[in-house]
Structure 1
Amino acid sequence: MLKQKFNNLLQTYTQDISLREKLWQEVEKHYASSKRHYHTLLHLENLFGELEPIHGKLEDWDTIQFSIFYHDIIYKSFKSNNEEESALLAADRLCQIGYPEEKTLKCENQILATKSHNFADNDTNFFTDADLSVLGKDWETYAVYYQQIRKEYNLYPDFLYNNGRKKVLEHFLDMENIFKTEYFQNKYENQARLNIEKEFQILDK
């Protein structure tokens, strides 16, 4: 399903079948890495699941789709510049298919926004909210998520990981709203806070 979405998206901008296949194989290779447990192809499917039903609220659906496919294409738990590297790779690949320059810049900025989670334009706010939507799922789903994140950071001992993770959780709890759009606030905000507080208590034991 993801491959078909990707191919359909690319068809608008390039008729080079071999290039489309090459770009898909690159996406698949990165997200299917054995070192990944949460930032996988399933994560991309979940983002599409959140945003496709409301794509009518979005101004530039094509750019958001590219942002979904490329926002975590570079993901190394011991690096702090994954978003920057992913944005650069996305820009290069979009250049290859002749994607408009202003839309490419928009895609780069959306990918970078998944690091800062600052308020931005409407499309970017919906995109980053969808990226965080797992925080507001039922506790069973959330528990699987945080266990998968721990596996991705398994090179760190518990005392280091727990302290770092608690800082991340505190950051979310200190925000006036975790989700920027009214749509996602109504859908996930309350449950997200309950989940985060529960994980924090588990880590604090």
Structure 2
Amino acid sequence: MNLQKIYFELLSNIGFSANEIQKNWLDLEKAYSKKSRHYHNLTHIQDMIACYEKYFDQLQFPNEVMYSIFYHDVIYSASKKDNELKSAEYAVKILPKETTLNSALVFDMICATQLHQHNKIEDINWLIDFDLKILARDWDNYKIYFEQIRKEYRIYPDFLYKPGRAKALKHFLENEFIFQTGEFRKLYEEKARVNIEKEIKLLI
């Protein structure tokens, strides 16, 4: 998958000039390639784009969803709680004045990746599920994922990190569903719950 090519085509379609596209790609690449990013990097974006391509026919606002995928973690700091809001603000701020994109929808989409709750706009539910699909990987890959998350939070000692991570994971289990679309619930809900329960046991 050529992420840069996909990005260039998207931005060209929604009203960015060639120069703007080049500059924005370099900024995006730099943000997602920081040394502190062990999971929230371009590989995560690539995985979400793969989901996007698979379920493209289900989407009403494909350009908004794809743009939101690229920018939903553009600002990411393990010590901050407003990453999604800041990412949403950034994504909307750099849009050209003449754009075919619904900027308000993009803003809502990116903010929705914080709480992962069901939304009346189905495309937001698809975006959330693309973001959380990692939870249903086979155990070895899931283990790599939570080890990468731990590295991103390495500023926190275990006695702070472990209860915090366990609390966040338990929150997923307390919800009626982890995934927001019927398709993902059918395919991945059970596996994700097994993985999360297994990780919690390692934390407590």
Give TM class, smaller chain.
Answer: over 0.9
**Contact 2:72–2:87 (CA under 8 A) maintained in structure 1:** yes
- Report the Cα distance in structure 1 between the residues aligned to 2:183 and 2:169, rounded to whole angstroms: 22
Tell me the matched-pair count.
Answer: 202
Cα deviation for residue 85 of structure 1 reads: 0.3
Partner of 2:89: 88
Correspondence 1:156-175 to 2 at 5 A: 156-175=156-175
Q: Does residue 105 in structure 1 map to residue 86 in structure 2? A: no
Partner of 2:44: 43
**Contact 2:45–2:69 (CA under 8 A) maintained in structure 1:** yes
Partner of 2:148: 148
- Aligned residue for 1:127, secondary structure, equals helix
Partner of 1:139: 139
Cα deviation for residue 160 of structure 1 reads: 0.1
- Aligned residue for 1:132, secondary structure, equals helix
- Report the Cα distance in structure 1 between the residues aligned to 2:137 and 2:188, rounded to whole angstroms: 7
Correspondence 1:1-205 to 2 at 5 A: 1-14=2-15, 16-94=17-95, 96=96, 98-100=98-100, 103-120=102-119, 121-204=121-204
Cα deviation for residue 100 of structure 1 reads: 4.1
**Contact 1:9–1:62 (CA under 8 A) maintained in structure 2:** yes
- Report the Cα distance in structure 1 between the residues aligned to 2:99 and 2:16, rounded to whole angstroms: 13
- Report the Cα distance in structure 2 between the residues aligned to 1:13 and 1:54, rounded to whole angstroms: 21
Task: Map Cα deviations across residues 126-160 of structure 1 (whole Å, 9 max, x no partner).
Answer: 00011000001111111000000000000000010
- Moved >6 Å (runs of 4+): none
- Report the Cα distance in structure 1 between the residues aligned to 2:201 and 2:99, rounded to whole angstroms: 46
Cα deviation for residue 16 of structure 1 reads: 2.1
Deviates most, 124-133 or 7-16: 7-16
Q: Name the Cα RMSD after superposition.
A: 1.1
2:11 maps to amino acid = L
- Report the Cα distance in structure 1 between the residues aligned to 2:19 and 2:108, rounded to whole angstroms: 28
TM-score (norm: length of structure 1): 0.96
**Contact 1:13–1:97 (CA under 8 A) maintained in structure 2:** no
**Contact 2:15–2:99 (CA under 8 A) maintained in structure 1:** no
Cα deviation for residue 71 of structure 1 reads: 0.1
- Aligned residue for 1:63, secondary structure, equals helix
Task: Map Cα deviations across residues 31-80 of structure 1 (whole Å, 9 max, x no partner).
Answer: 01111000000000000111211110000100001000000000000001
Deviates most, 14-23 or 64-73: 14-23
TM-score (norm: length of structure 2): 0.96
Which residues of structure 1 form unaligned runs of 5+?
none
Cα deviation for residue 15 of structure 1 reads: 5.8
Change (3 A) 1:104 1:15: closer
1:113 maps to amino acid = A
Which residues of structure 2 form unaligned runs of 5+?
none
- Report the Cα distance in structure 2 between the residues aligned to 1:196 and 1:13, rounded to whole angstroms: 38
